[in-house]
């Protein structure tokens, strides 16, 4: 008997993440890697976490830390998050918040909640490949999210209906998106809200990088803008996904969802069925560190990462051959490179690793239709200025050789 013959049809849609595979290169000390969008471990607030775990395991708190807990999440952490969301324009109750095992779990739950086979998810071209993977298991079709002024919204509904479903949601990271580093301006966010009202669909706002702004004017989250319009979170169609992975620690896997209470109630049932609750001790530790130093720590991250962003932009200007273009992000962890037409990012990666020991992510993985092969993503968050300049110089050398071959 072959067990794979018993797999559900959705199993055929599961693909290995190119980034997960590329992270294996980090174990090779001679590789300069711009691949994974990962925080610098040297910047983790390790002492604060040591203190938080010590407190969680003391005689007063250990029973709670090591025991089963409620699916909604650790109440003091949800209370802290309610205050935090209010500080970015989204006042809410603790009952509007669900703690998840990272924002990746949030995306999986929302795909499961919203998508029937043949339904349409609107996504950017390119978009976060983890979102594509999470949604893809629920057998949707993807359509390109276009916030252009002249876009005819009815086209989305017609294409979705022709495919046998309807538009269920638009997914995007409005601030310093993964992979491009680009930000949706205020006018684009308003257009998205209008579009969602016309299509009667949800908006999934991925706020993973929202706290990492280095320059430019801060823009309200989409949920905050909708709340300004409608005056009541229970009337809002935007679902906000947050994460501590890019600010405090990715290893603890603590994220959150903010949404209207009927949405949270359904997601809680999914949480109960999937894993009962996220690890209580990790939630307690995150709460302790967030309460002790979140805003001070994030300020330090901004200073460190903005300097690395500047170093990468300067290195690109110094070392890239003519015909290569790149984004200039105001925050986040990524710069998006567009190569000359005809070049293939995956082919370039193979050559870059073999010849110059430098790694990045080919761009095609971020496109729902597999297009965009002449693009690549560089992350600057986990490299110092010297490595950034050296790595970009090596990449430029490979590009010049590839163009001349």
C-alpha to C-alpha distance for 241 and 261, rounded to whole angstroms:
15
Q: What are the pLDDT digits (tens) for 279-330?
A: 999 999 999 999 999 999 999 999 999 999 999 999 999 999 999 999 999 9
DSSP 272-332: HHHTSSS-HHHHHHHHHHHHHHHHHHHHHHHHHHHHHHHHHHHHHHHHPPTT-EE---SBS
Question: Would you state the pLDDT for residue 9?
Answer: 79
* Element housing 10 (H / E): none
Q: Are 179 and 377 in contact (CB under 8 A)?
A: yes
pLDDT of residue 4: 78
pLDDT at residue 27, rounded to an integer? 64
User: Any residues with CB less than 8 A from the CB of 162 and at least 6 apart, and which?
Assistant: none
- pLDDT-flagged residues of the chain (< 50): none
Q: Please write the tens of the pLDDT for every residue from 21-67.
A: 666 665 678 899 999 889 999 999 999 999 999 999 999 999 999 99
> What is the distance in angstroms between the CA of the first residue and the CA of the last residue of the chain?
50
Strand, coil or helix: what is 165?
coil
Q: Name the helix (H) or strand (E) containing 401.
A: helix 385-404
Give the span between the Cα atoms of 99 and 77, in whole angstroms: 9
Query: How far is residue 309's CA from residue 37's CA, in Å, rounded to a whole number?
Result: 13
pTM comes to: 0.95
pLDDT recorded at residue 6: 79
* Cα–Cα distance for residue pair 230/13, rounded to 1 Å: 38
Q: What is the reported pLDDT for 19?
A: 62
Using CA atoms, how far apart are residues 49 and 288, in angstroms rounded to an integer? 8
State residue 82's pLDDT score.
Answer: 98
């Amino acid at each position: 008997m072959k067990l794979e013959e018993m797999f559900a049809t959705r199993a055929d849609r599961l693909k290995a993440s190119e980034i997960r595979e590329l992270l294996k290169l980090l174990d090779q000390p001679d590789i300069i890697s711009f691949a994974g969008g990962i925080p610098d471990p040297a910047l983790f607030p390790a002492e604060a976490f040591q203190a938080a775990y010590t407190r969680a395991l003391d005689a007063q708190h250990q029973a709670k830390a090591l025991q089963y807990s409620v699916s909604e999440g650790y109440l003091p952490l949800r209370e802290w998050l309610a205050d935090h969301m209010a500080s970015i324009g989204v006042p809410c109750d603790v009952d509007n918040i669900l703690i998840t095992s990272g924002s990746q779990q949030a995306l999986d739950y929302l795909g499961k909640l919203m998508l029937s086979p043949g339904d349409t998810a609107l996504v950017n071209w390119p978009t976060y490949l983890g979102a594509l993977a999470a949604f893809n298991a629920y057998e949707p079709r993807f359509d390109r999210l276009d916030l252009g002024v002249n876009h005819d919204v009815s086209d989305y509904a017609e294409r979705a209906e022709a495919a046998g479903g309807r538009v269920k949601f638009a997914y995007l990271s409005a601030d310093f998106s993964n992979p491009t580093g680009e930000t949706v301006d205020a006018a684009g966010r308003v257009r998205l809200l209008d579009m969602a009202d016309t299509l009667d669909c949800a908006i999934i706002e991925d706020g993973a990088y929202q706290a990492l702004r280095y320059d430019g004017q801060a823009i309200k989250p989409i949920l905050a803008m909708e709340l300004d319009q409608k005056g009541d979170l229970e009337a809002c169609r935007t679902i906000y996904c947050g994460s501590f992975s890019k600010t405090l620690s990715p290893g603890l896997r603590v994220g959150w969802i903010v949404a209207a209470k009927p949405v949270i109630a359904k997601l809680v049932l999914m949480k109960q069925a999937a894993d009962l609750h996220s690890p209580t001790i990790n939630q307690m530790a995150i709460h302790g560190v967030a309460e002790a130093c979140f805003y001070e720590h994030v300020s330090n991250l901004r200073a460190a990462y903005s300097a690395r962003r500047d170093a990468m932009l300067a290195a690109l200007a110094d070392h890239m051959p003519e015909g290569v273009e790149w984004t200039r992000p105001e925050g986040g962890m990524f710069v998006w490179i567009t190569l000359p037409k005809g070049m293939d990012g995956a082919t370039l990666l193979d050559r870059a690793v073999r010849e110059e020991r430098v790694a990045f992510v080919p761009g095609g993985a971020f496109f729902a239709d597999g297009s965009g092969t002449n693009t690549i993503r560089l992350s600057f968050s986990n490299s110092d200025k010297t490595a950034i300049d050296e790595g970009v110089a090596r990449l430029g050398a490979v590009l010049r050789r590839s163009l001349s071959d």
